Structure 1
C-alpha cells in the first residue's frame, strides 16, 4: 500500500521536469516499498508497479508472469493486447509483435530471427553501421546548430534496420514518420488526447499495405535480407503468417529505432552533464563498450515493461491476484541502491553487473547486441566528428512517454561548426 505521503503511482500525467528526470520519483516509491498498487479503475484489472531490482528480476524471469492478458484472465475472448477492438489494423500488427508473444509462438519466431541478430552477424555489420553514422554526421549542424534527434539519433537506427530488412534507404523518412505515429497508441502518452489511436491506426494501415507488397515481391527471390528470409521460411513451411511477417517488420522498425534513438540522445545529454567523462572517452575510445553499459544503466531508453499475473502471487509484500497487470520499472531497478552502489553517480568503470536496460528472461531484447553496437559506433562518430559536442547551449524537449523514454528534440549549439 502507498504511504500516507505518496499518491497512487501512475505512468500518466507526469510534469515535464519529472519526465526528463524520473529517478527521484522512483526513489521515493522504492524507499516506501518495492511494489505499489496503482489506482483502481472500474472494469479494469488492478495494476501493480514494481520498483526494486530483485522484484523486477522476478517478474521478468518467472513464468508466472506473461504477456497475454487472455491467459491471465482465463477469458479466451479477452483482448491479448491493450488495443481497442475498433482499431483492427493496429491490433493485428501489435498482436504479432515478438514482445507480446508467449511460448511456443515466441520461441518459434525468436529462433527464426535470432541468428540475424547474433554477435557474429552484428560484428559483420559494424563497418556498414560506421559508414551510415559518418554519412549522417557530414550533414549535421551545417549552421552551427543541430537537432541531434532529427539529424542523427533517429535516422541512424532506421537506416541500419532498413539495411537489415532490405528496405530502400530512401524510404527511411517515411518509415520514421509512420513509426512515430504508431507510437501515439502508447498508453502513457497522455497529452495527445483521443486522436492517438486514430493516428496509430492510420500508420498501421500504411505499414500493412507497404510490407504486404514487399512480401509479394520477395516470393521466389534470392536476396539475403531479413524480410526475404522470413518470406522464404514461411514458404518453406515455418509456422509464420503474412500477418506475422508484417508485424515482425513493424516491430523491428518501431521498437528497434525508438530504443537506439533514446539511448543515443540521452547518452549525449548525460555526457554533456559530465564533461570529464566525455573528454576521457575521446582520449580512450576503448572505454566505449563499458561506457555504453553504464549509460544504459544510468538512464535506460525503455523505462517500463508490462506483464500479466498468470496465477495468484506474493510480490514485494503485496498479494497480486491472477489477472492483475504488473508493470516492471526498469529505470527504477537500474537505480536501486540495494543492487548498484552510488546508483545516481555515472561511473563508466563500474564493475560489470547485470543492468536491466534491455530486460531479462525470454523477452530479453532481441536486438540488444545491435543496439549496443549502434550506440558505441554512433557515440564514437559524434565524439570524433564534433569537437564542441560538450560545449554550447542546448534545447531539450522530452516526448510525453514514460515507456519509450527520451527527447523528441535535442537542439545543440556547437561553437566552431561551419
Structure 2
C-alpha cells in the first residue's frame, strides 16, 4: 500500500505522528502525495528542504484553497473567509512587510523583557492556586498552560483576560488554517465561529479613542486602531483578521508547547530531576524541547514559478506541506533524533518558522514557556502523570494536549 500523509488524521498518528513522518521521509524527504491538498501536494519532511521552502521567495505563503472563487454565498461568511486570507501568516511581500511593521512593536525585545516580572508573578500565582487544594491533582493545561499565555496576550492586546468563548473561536480558526477533513466537512459552521471572533475584535477596536483624545490606552489595539484610521490597513477585515490570528497563534502555540514540554518532563524522570535540581537551565533546554515535540508541526507554501527542491521539479500552483515536526526528527540534521537530549549542541529548530515569516511573538512565547516550566519544576512536588491517554489537538498543524492530569505530592 502506498504511504500517504493523509493518515496523519488517524488517532494513532494524532497520538504520535513521528513514526509516520519517518516512513514518509524515508520514502523521499520531498514526496509527492496524491491524497493531500486538492489534487495532490508535495510533502517536505527533510530539514534542509524545509529550510529552503520556508526561505525561498519563489514560494508563496498564499493558500490556493482560499481563493476568491471559493467564497461562501453568505456575505458574513465570505467576509470572514477574506479576513482569514489577509492574515500575515498567509501574506506575501509587500503586504506581509506592511503588516509586520504594524504588528511588531509589542513584540520587540525591550517590550518583552519589560513583561518578565509580570509573567513570573502571574505564573507563580497560578501554580500556587493550582496546588493549594487537598486533591493532590491538577489539570496542567486547564489550570495553568492555557491560562498563562491567555492572560499575557490579553495584556498585550488590551482585551479581557478570560472569556469562555475564546477557546471555541480559536478552535474554529485553527481548524480552518489546518484545512483538514474536519475543516472541509464543517467549513461554513467554522466560519460562523470566526464571524463572532471578528465581531469581538471590531467592537474593541471601535472603543479606542482617536489620536489626541482622552482615555487612550497603551496596548496593541490602540496602536492598530491608530494605524487603521491612518490608512495602515486595507480594511476592517484585514485588521480584525490579523488580531484574531495573533491571539490564536500566540495562545494555542504557547499553551501547547508548555503542555508538550511538561508531558515529556513527566515521561523522562531523569530530565525532570535534572531541571528540578537546576531550574535555571530551563531556557537553555527549550530549543531541544521544541525540536523534540513542537506545538507547530505544519505550515504550507505554494509554488509561484518553476522550482526545484530535493531533486524534484515543481510547477506553478502546486502546494507544498512543510512538516516542521518531521524536519526536527531528520537524522541528516540531528543525530539520534528520537531521543530527548538536553546536551544536544547547536539545536537550530524551526518551530518559530524561518526567514521572512519568522514568528512575531517568538520572544514572548519563549519567555512565557520558560517561566512556566521553571515554575513547574520549582513548585509542583513529585509530579506524575495520572494517565497515559492524553487528549490532544485533532489537527496536525497545532500539536499539544488539551488535558494533562498531573498528580503531585509525596
Change (3 A) 1:277 1:131: same
Q: 1:176 aligns with which of 160, 163, 167?
A: 167
- Residues 19-30 of structure 1 aligned to structure 2 (within 5 Å): 19-30=14-25
Deviations 1:51-99 (A, max 9, x none): 11111111000011111246xx9xxxx7069876653243132122110
Task: Check if 1:201 corresponds to 2:191.
Answer: yes
**1 CA distance for matches of 2:192 and 2:217?**
30
Give 1:286 deviation, angstroms. 2.2
**Cα pair 2:8 2:17 within 8 Å, conserved:** no
Task: Check if 1:117 corresponds to 2:137.
Answer: no
- Residues 96-107 of structure 1 aligned to structure 2 (within 5 Å): 96-107=86-97
**Cα pair 1:66 1:307 within 8 Å, conserved:** yes
**2 CA distance for matches of 1:373 and 1:331?**
21
Give 1:187 deviation, angstroms. 4.2
Task: Check if 1:94 corresponds to 2:84.
Answer: yes
**1 CA distance for matches of 2:71 and 2:126?**
36
Residue 290 of structure 2 is matched in structure 1 by: 296
Deviations 1:2-57 (A, max 9, x none): xxx6423326532x232222112111221221111112589x34311001111111
Give 1:370 deviation, angstroms. 0.8
Q: Match of 1:409, SS?
A: coil
Structure 1 alignment gaps of length 5 or more = none
**1 CA distance for matches of 2:381 and 2:4?**
46
Q: Match of 2:325, SS?
A: helix
For normalisation by structure 2, the TM-score amounts to 0.91
For normalisation by structure 1, the TM-score amounts to 0.89
**2 CA distance for matches of 1:187 and 1:386?**
34
Count residues in correspondence: 402
Moved more, 352-361 or 132-141: 132-141
**Cα pair 1:305 1:403 within 8 Å, conserved:** yes
**2 CA distance for matches of 1:363 and 1:35?**
21
Residue 350 of structure 1 is matched in structure 2 by: 344
Deviations 1:114-170 (A, max 9, x none): 231112211111111122222322332532222222221112211111010111224
**Cα pair 1:61 1:362 within 8 Å, conserved:** yes
Change (3 A) 1:375 1:81: farther
Change (3 A) 1:210 1:192: closer
Residue 6 of structure 2 is matched in structure 1 by: 10
**Cα pair 1:89 1:201 within 8 Å, conserved:** no
**Cα pair 1:140 1:151 within 8 Å, conserved:** yes
Cα-Cα RMSD? 2.4
Deviations 1:252-302 (A, max 9, x none): 111111101110111011111111111111221221112111100111111
